[in-house]
Amino acid sequence: MILMLETPTDDSVEVSIAFLKECGAKLTEVSPRALDTIFTRLRGILQDGDSSNLDKRVQYMIEVVMTIRKDNFKAYPAVIDELDLIDEDDQITHTLSLEDAVNPENELSE
């Protein structure tokens, strides 16, 4: 997301904001420093004049997502209650690396 915001366009900012709305609550738990970096960049886009190329609607979207963050993403939970169907004790987590060669039949059956 940082790469998309290096040279912000209407589309790159909109995609970043959509991602933040959907994943911001989880990012707050998992990587708050990374989330701070992203919001610092968004704030910089508004304040440093990078927003002169952006549509007013997109600038407003940045302000809205900052307000959503102040509210701790209450309107955008990390897991929607209706989708949390499996008890935490019954869940199995599979950790995979994108760099390693993996045989899916062997890895997922362990």
pLDDT per residue as tens digits for the range 29-67: 999 999 999 999 999 999 877 667 889 999 999 999 999
Q: Compute the distance between CA of residue 64 and CA of residue 31 in angstroms, rounded to an integer.
A: 21
Percentage with pLDDT > 90 across the chain? 58
pTM: predicted TM-score of the whole model, two decimal places = 0.71
pLDDT score recorded for residue 105: 74
CA distances from 52 to 2, 7, 18, 90, 101 (A): 19, 12, 21, 51, 46
In the chain, where the domains are located: 2-80
- Decide if 37 contacts 30 (C-beta within 8 A): no
Can you give the pLDDT at residue 109? Answer: 57
The two structure tokens encoding residue 103 = 């045989």
